[in-house]
Amino acid sequence: MQKGLLYFGSIFLLILSSAAEAQVAFKDMDVQHYTFAIGLNDANDNIKGKADVTIKFTGNVNEPELNLVKKNNTGKGMLVSSINEDGKSLKFVQDSDVIHILSPAKINTTHTYTINYSGIPADGLIISTNKHGHRTFFGDNWPNRAHNWLPCADYPSDKATVDFIVTAPNHYQIVSNGLKTEEKELPNHLKLTHWKESEPLAPKLMVIGVAEFAIQQSGTVGGVPVYTYVFPEDEINGFKNYAYAPEILKFYDAKLGLYDYEKLANVQSKTIYGGMENASAIFYYEDSPDAGRADEELQAHEIGHQWFGDAVTEKNWKNLWLSEGFATYMTNCYLENKYGIDTLKKREADDRNKVIKFEQRRYTPVVDTAVKSNYVQLLNANSYEKGSWTLHMLRRKIGDDLFWKGLRAYYAKYKNLNANTADLEQVMEQASGQDLHTFFNQWIYNAGHPELSIVWNYDANKKTLNINITQKQNNLFVFPLQLEIAGKLYTVDVKERETTASFSIEVKPANLLADPNVDLLAEFDVKGQ
């Protein structure tokens, strides 16, 4: 996800705060597949839905449950009219947030429930008009807003395959996850479009986009077709500025392993985020076709999510950095590869400033266990920039070859599954042959960063440069500190509160530069005597 429109805008935070409350994972249930048949119209915002939900039960469950927001006193929400299994009507209770199916399920059995419902979505499916005045429908599920319009287990650890069968007025084009398997005209100027995603997804990634689109295939990468969907009025700029996607996809394929999905569609949309990484159907903000070069960065971020966040999904929200931190750093690596090391240095320096400023407002670890609800709080510089910085420092610690080897192994092992930080740590230890516990503990599970006082003096008689390094922050860190002295690089291993080092230097240097290659997330106060 690109946080720009959200993280820096308190208005958007307020919009989402009531929609992204905590939810409890349903015990002993594993959804295998969803088929959502959705009916849309131009007369009003009411949708008609039929969901076939196939669930495997890993324990005895007295009342199977699914999330769905019930119609409230504002008139918005979904009202369930019936639930059936194999043609048999089942009793159920629908409360404000959950459907309770009053039919016990036994361990090691699989059931498919057909849920008929309708209503005006309170959120999740954004029905509005775009900047050109045309009606649009766009799924906007992050973090747990899918159940405003889809009956589902609305949390990231329950992934399932999904079909969307959308019936809508025939002047719309429809895009969704996976491949389009059917499109046919119906009576009364309607059209049915069927999209099928064969790889399991978290509900946050299951979407439809319904609008009048101009569509172009911008390329094919490794047999995967890459498409652009933009509003017809934005066709010229959209086709041009969305055309970075094949190049980006090719880079990630080579570095991380092959793309997991059947196609990649980059879609101009009308939602509340700068970009949302819906698997194989990425949605971008509606002014993005005019963003020019900024589109490349945005596309690199969202396409990077297809590996991390989509194919490999965090087990829970506190591990969000495994999605956002990865997408942020993959973007930096792509831009480094294309534009050079100086681009990477500048981006890391900018990201470091964001992390430091954020810690002044909120002092918390990257894995933030204090956030129990309103997960929008996690769209912050810890999840994005500090997560990215951790990967950057890990890359420098173990070296490029082992770093990319480790990420490829992590992707291969957890593709279409869920992972947490401990899983990543284990894979990277196996790939590098190094003990990385201290590294992950200090950068991910503890708050803060090194705040370094570096005092140096030159002894002309001994031709020696003496350096004293003090960690001023409360929690001590262990790290290598690189120094540039008279054009040469020196490394000091810092482990204690006070660290001293001496180097033989023929002539007193004009200055000392700490971290010249921008490889350490730290603050530096350098003084010569």
Strand partners, 175: 209
CB 188 within 8 A of CB 219: no
- pLDDT single digits (tens) 399-455: 999 999 999 999 999 999 999 999 999 999 999 999 999 999 999 999 999 999 999
pLDDT-derived band at 3, boundaries 50, 70, 90: low
- What residue type is 224 in one-letter code? V
- Interior angle at CA 199, CA 289 and CA 180, nearest 5: 55
Q: How far apart are the first and last CA of the chain?
A: 47
**Residues 108 and 210 placed together within one structural domain of the fold:** yes
Q: Are residues 66 and 102 in the same domain?
A: yes
Predicted local confidence at residue 13, as pLDDT:
34
How many Å apart are CA 131 and CA 154, to the nearest integer? 31
Same domain? For 63 and 183 the reply is: yes
401 and 509 fall within a common domain: no
Question: Is 281 in the same domain as 372?
Answer: no
pLDDT of the residue at 193: 98
Q: How confident is the model at residue 29 (pLDDT cuts 50, 70, 90)?
A: very high
Average pLDDT over residues 149-160: 98
Q: Among residues 281, 306, 331, which one ends one of the domains? A: 306
Whether residue 428 is found in the same domain as residue 508: no
- Pair 247, 273 in one domain: yes
Give the separation between CA 439 and CA 443, rounded to whole angstroms. 6
- Choose the final residue of a domain: 306, 324, 343: 306
Question: CATH code at 52?
Answer: 2.60.40.1730
Q: From 196, 161, 201, select the one nearest 179 (Cα to Cα).
A: 196
Q: What are the tens digits of pLDDT across the range 86-136? A: 999 999 999 999 999 999 999 999 999 999 999 999 999 999 999 999 999
Look up the domain containing 468 and give its range: 451-528
pLDDT tens string 222-233: 999 999 999 999
Do 318 and 300 share a structural domain?
no
What is the mean predicted confidence (pLDDT) over 306-326? 98
Percent of the chain with pLDDT over 70: 96
- Return the CATH number at 511: 2.60.40.1840
What is the SS3 string spanning 286-297? CCHHHCCCHHHH
pLDDT in tens, 442-486: 999 999 999 999 999 999 999 999 999 999 999 999 999 999 999
User: Which residues, 6+ apart, have CB-to-CB distance to 472 below 8 Å?
Assistant: 451, 452, 453
Q: How many domains does the chain have?
A: 3
Is 14 a residue whose pLDDT tops 60? no
Going by pLDDT thresholds of 50, 70 and 90, the confidence category of residue 24 is confident
CA atoms in the 13 A half-sphere facing the CB of 499: 20
pLDDT, one tens digit per residue, over 483-528 is: 999 999 999 999 999 999 999 999 999 999 999 999 999 999 999 9
pLDDT in tens, 31-49: 999 999 999 999 999 999 9
Domain of 337, CATH number, reads: 1.10.390.10
Instruction: Give the residue-averaged pLDDT of 335-347.
Output: 98
Q: Tell me: the pLDDT tens digits for 237-283?
A: 999 999 999 999 999 999 999 999 999 999 999 988 899 999 999 99
Q: Is 338 found in the same domain as 283?
A: no
Of the candidates 131, 128, 193, the residue with the CA atom closest to the CA atom of residue 164? 193
b/e burial code for range 446-459 (CB count within 10 A of at least 16 → b): bbbbbbbebebebe
Q: Which of these three, 306, 336, 370, is where a domain ends? A: 306
Whether the pLDDT of residue 9 is over 60: the answer is no
Q: In what order do the strands lie in the sheet with 208-211?
A: 125-129, 135-139, 208-211, 173-176
Does 345 share its domain with 265? no
Q: Are residues 84 and 188 in the same domain?
A: yes
Is the same domain home to 264 and 366?
Answer: no
